[in-house]
Structure 1
Amino acid sequence: MNARKAFIRRRPFGSLALLVLLIIAGLMWNWRVQLQVFPSIISAYTAKEYCSCRFVMNNPAHYCQSYVKQWLPSTINEDALNKRITARGWGRESAAQWEGPRQGCRLSPPVP
């Protein structure tokens, strides 16, 4: 018991850093499902919002690219003929398809 107290007294910042790391590890374990899904959210958001900007609101491409720009990089491919947007970010790919003037855009599985 005295050895533990002596360690904390000798290294207070190291003990605090170890405690913070343990708390962060516990939070990451608790939120592991949400953290695994996060990369998919980036590409899905980009595809859906860009599709809505282009085909529902009829804005020009350069405006929509700046509208959906994020701090995290993503690539956008536009198929204007079929009104389909494919976005790739953080290794995940999502697609959005224009359904019609009343339905707007909808996320759909990417075409291989």
Structure 2
Amino acid sequence: MKRAKKALKAAGIGLGVILVLVGVFVAWNWQALSAFPTLPAGYEAKELCSCLFVEGRPQPECEAFIRQDVVPIDGRSFDMEGKSVTVTALGNTRRAHYVSERFGCVIDAAGE
């Protein structure tokens, strides 16, 4: 019985140490971690814009090319006349628009 109590106490201390280390890691890297939710929407908007307006591929081909199953995409909208793509993922909406043949597509600053 004493051996079981010692093992349980050691496991509790080990778990506590792991939780403290995870907390320190999150606090130390908070700026980078908090930026993550905007990345999937921005990435997909930029890639779709480049595929459509720089490479000139058809929309279904571009959507198949950029398809990924890691982060769910909530919505996409295409403005063919304005040459822009808007994507929503993880509650964040990002827009990329075509600038020129030389510069291709750029992601709009947040809030634009």
Moved more, 63-72 or 21-30: 63-72
Provide the rounded CA distance (Å) in 2 between the counterparts of 1:20 and 1:30: 15
* Distance 1:97-1:16 versus aligned 2 partners, 3 A rule: same
Provide the rounded CA distance (Å) in 1 between the counterparts of 2:102 and 2:93: 26
The answer to whether the aligner puts 1:53 opposite 2:56 as a matched pair is no
Task: Output aligned runs, 1:1-112, within 5 Å.
Answer: 10-70=8-68, 71-74=70-73, 75-109=75-109
Aligned residue-pair number = 106
Give the RMSD, CA atoms, in angstroms. Answer: 2.1
Provide the rounded CA distance (Å) in 2 between the counterparts of 1:107 and 1:17: 42
User: Structure 1: where are the runs of 5+ without partners?
Assistant: 1-6
Identity across aligned pairs (percent)?
25
TM-score by length of 1: 0.82
- String of CA shifts for 1:68-88, please: whole Å, max 9, x gaps: 223101221111111110111
Q: Is the 8 A contact 1:56 1:104 kept in 2?
A: yes
Runs of 4+ in structure 1 over 6 Å off: none
TM-score by length of 2: 0.82
User: Structure 2: where are the runs of 5+ without partners?
Assistant: none
